Amino acid sequence: MKLHRTLLTALAFTAGMALHAQSAHNMVVQTNKVGAEIQPTMYGLFFEDINYGADGGLYAELIKNRSFEFPQNFMGWATFGNVKLMNDGPFERNPHYVRLGNPGHGHKHTGIENEGFFGIGVKEGAEYRFSVWARGENQKIRVELIDNDTMGENQAFVSKEMDINSKEWKQYEVVLKSPVTDPKAHLRIFLTSKGTLDLEHVSLFPVDTWKGRKNGLRKDLAQALYDTKPGVFRFPGGCIVEGTDLETRYDWKKTVGPVENRPLNENRWHYTFPYRFFPDYFQTYGMGFFEFFELSEDMGAEPLPVLSCGLSCQFQNDSEDAHVKVCDLGSYIQDALDLIEFANGDVNTKWGKLRADMGHPASFNLKFIGIGNEQWGPEYPEHLKPFVEAIRKAYPDIKIVGSSGPNSEGDQFEYLWPEMKKLKVDLVDEHFYRPESWFLAEGNRYDNYDRKGPKVFAGEYACHGKGKKWNHFNAALLEAAFMTGLERNADVVHMATYAPLFAHVEGWQWRPDMIWFDNLNSVRTCSYYVQQLYGHNKGTNVLPLTMDKRAVSGQEGQDGLFASAVWDKDTKEYIVKVANTSDRVQPLSLTFAGLKKNDKLTEGKCITLQSADLDKDNTLENPNAIVPKETAVSIDGNVLNVEVAPKTFVLYKFTKTSNK
Ligand code: AHR
């Protein structure tokens, strides 16, 4: 009997048939009542160096601890022969380097070997740019990529000699072409001459980075971001903005200028979860604020930098000396003002000039700035106030993002929203990592939000399944359902960014995440595709939508159906998004009301994201298991009759043509 039912369900599922004779829900889109504008920033990306998202991830550097500045200076390196650590190098903020000397006998070797981030991933036929700052006269090194397999081979598969001949420090470069694919190679450098030589900032990048930039980004990962069409790009985090103490907060000024001189910072994610401990996780700032702005520009997304408000992470450290006194906030406020100058200032200003020197004389056209991440209590508004005053005075057009704390409701949240209103910030950042029940219940969260106060930035969210805190289809489906509520309330919700973005399969601290990767490949999760479907189909205006004569809210009496409708005035498209969170086939009659006599709906498309197995997601081994599928649909006049399969996210799109 059970088998029989399962079979029937499966048949109905694939054929899109109703199991029970259920009457259709009547959805009506009011096409002649074009509503609130949907902000270009509506759907975007949140970036943080968590899960090896930057170093070891998006930032394409393949060498770990390239400047020998980790607290254990040789972490990530093996040394052999005569290797000395020195600390009077050419880069003030990264003074360490290595001196390779004669090993003492003609047949012995001196050298160093780097293990990369979980190995060094190289692909057959691809080129890798090795570079190093070196000092030495008439010396030679051999640079090799070696396999590191467990069979004990450890032999070079590509090798190049380099002459080093400079009394002063100079950068040398050579390109290595890999004859093999190896996810876990090592880099080895031998001293092959008799003498002494100094090496600093040892670096290896794929030549083929995103946009071919030298200090560039991993192409597949940057492409995945670009492919979501993000409207806003928030960086550099998250908790790393705040620091465990003030010293370790993210200080943007340390992340600009020549990469060799950007100092190392700890990464709090290396120790945040003892059960996911990564003692070799640090921030080199190789991907710094210039690179973040550049990436925003490449993606056509508004940059949204978030800065420390002088309070370090209150979860981790609430001691008094972990916070700056309000009267001492001067340099922090100046950092915020200088950042705006760095992004937008004329090339004759101090910080505008630095931007130009780094290769971008044109303004980055920064419009938004966030101050503070997940701060709470009266300290936060007290600290935020002088920032707001100073930024308003110097840059009245910049929009300021404040925070509502780490929780989506509760005392801190209730306290902070009115405070944000008092301070008249432009947007308030809300965070919600919540279970299925929350996402189902909150589809109408913004329906009754105050329309006169600050706008909402849903700055970090993801469905964390109860007992299933990893990526799976059902979580993505509920995110899609919840997002219909963001969209229907686009007059008050101006930005939304899923979080976190990236995770290395061997180095994650937090999941679920939007994009997973190893050293060679990456995979876009179901949550990624939900974000992408919204990003590509956001439209320009909200349209009123009812179901069975009631406003759609996804709540009681609406059979687990969530929906939103938009108009895109540029492409002349109507787009209706429906998430069927129920386990029933749902017949739907979708009427596009209010069309003019000569208007026709053509080019009907139906895009579906669906998985029969709710616990499944895409994997590196099977990256296309669950991807959006597009089919053509035809409409009878202005009414579309369809059956929405159980547990499905679906978009219906029609182009309006006027026959005159
Ligand atoms: O996204 C992971 C973390 O979650 C962020 O760093 C922080 O803002 C939130 O608590």
Nearest to 188 by CA among 244, 109, 118, 124: 109
Q: Convert the pLDDT of each residue in 238-251 to its tens digit.
A: 999 999 999 999 99
> Which stretches does DSSP call E strand in 207-291?
232-235, 265-266, 282-283
Asked if residues 246 and 311 have their Cβ atoms less than 8 Å apart, the reply is no
CA 19, distance to chain mean position in Å, is: 41
Asked if residues 533 and 477 have their Cβ atoms less than 8 Å apart, the reply is no
Q: Convert the pLDDT of each residue in 33-64 to its tens digit.
A: 999 999 999 999 999 999 999 999 999 999 99
Q: Convert the pLDDT of each residue in 604-642 to its tens digit.
A: 999 999 999 999 999 999 999 999 999 999 998 999 999
pLDDT on residue 108: 85
Q: Does residue 9 have a pLDDT over 60?
A: no
Q: Does residue 20 have a pLDDT over 60?
A: no
Could you tell me which residues come within 8 angstroms of residue 404 by beta carbon, excluding any fewer than 6 positions away?
412, 413, 416, 417, 420, 428, 429, 430, 431
| Nearest protein CA to atom 6 of ligand 1, as residue | 238
Q: Is 480 in the pocket of ligand 1 (CB under 6 A)?
A: no
Instruction: Indicate the pLDDT class of residue 12, thresholds 50, 70 and 90.
Output: very low
pLDDT on residue 22: 74
Q: If you measure from the C-alpha of residue 199 to the centroid of ligand 1, how many angstroms do you get, rounded to a whole number?
A: 37
Instruction: Write down the catalytic residue from 374, 430, 442, 479.
Output: 374
pLDDT on residue 242: 96
* Weakest mean pLDDT among 118-122, 147-151, 271-275, 629-633: 147-151
| Nearest protein CA to atom 4 of ligand 1, as residue | 238
Q: Does residue 136 have a pLDDT over 80?
A: yes
DSSP 228-243: T--SEEEES-SGGGT-
Q: Does residue 514 have a pLDDT over 70?
A: yes
CA distance 612 to 535: 25
pLDDT on residue 173: 98
* Weakest mean pLDDT among 145-159, 284-298, 447-461: 145-159
Q: If you measure from the C-alpha of residue 238 to the centroid of ligand 1, how many angstroms do you get, rounded to a whole number?
A: 5
DSSP 38-97: PPTTSEEEE--S-TTSTBTTTB----TTTTS-SSSTTTTEEEESEEEEE---S-TTS--E
pLDDT on residue 131: 98
Asked if residues 112 and 103 have their Cβ atoms less than 8 Å apart, the reply is no
| Nearest protein CA to atom 5 of ligand 1, as residue | 238
Average pLDDT over residues 172-200: 97
Q: Does residue 366 have a pLDDT over 50?
A: yes
Q: Is 314 in the pocket of ligand 1 (CB under 6 A)?
A: no
Complete domains list, the chain, with CATH: 24-39+541-658 (2.60.40.1180), 43-60+216-242+292-536 (3.20.20.80), 77-208 (2.60.120.260)
| Nearest protein CA to atom 3 of ligand 1, as residue | 238
Q: Is 48 in the pocket of ligand 1 (CB under 6 A)?
A: yes
Residue of 250, 270, 283, 374 to test ligand 1 pocket, by largest number of atoms within 8 Å of CB: 374
Q: Convert the pLDDT of each residue in 265-307 to its tens digit.
A: 999 999 999 999 999 999 999 999 999 999 999 999 999 999 9
CA distance 551 to 30: 11
Which ligand 1 atom is the nearest neighbour of the CA of 510? 2
Q: What is the CA radius of gyration of the chain?
A: 27
Q: Convert the pLDDT of each residue in 516-561 to its tens digit.
A: 999 999 999 999 999 999 999 999 999 999 999 999 988 887 999 9
* Weakest mean pLDDT among 26-40, 145-159, 478-492, 631-645: 145-159
Annotation says 374 is catalytic: yes
Average pLDDT over residues 583-593: 97
pLDDT on residue 319: 85
Q: Does residue 317 have a pLDDT over 90?
A: no
- What token pair was written down for 67? 């400047």
**Global confidence as pTM:** 0.95
Which ligand 1 atom is the nearest neighbour of the CA of 240? 6
Q: Is 313 in the pocket of ligand 1 (CB under 6 A)?
A: no
* Weakest mean pLDDT among 14-23, 102-111, 478-487: 14-23
Which ligand 1 atom is the nearest neighbour of the CA of 499? 1
- Reduced to 3 states (helix: H, G, I; strand: E, B; else coil), residue 112 is strand
Give the pairing of strands 302-307 and 232-235: parallel
Average pLDDT over residues 402-419: 97
pLDDT on residue 177: 98
CA distance 504 to 500: 12
Average pLDDT score over the chain: 94
Q: Percentage of the chain surpassing pLDDT 90?
A: 92
pLDDT on residue 14: 41
Q: Which of 21-36 are b and which e, b meaning 16 or more Cβ less than 10 Å from the residue's Cβ?
A: eeeebebbbbbeebbb
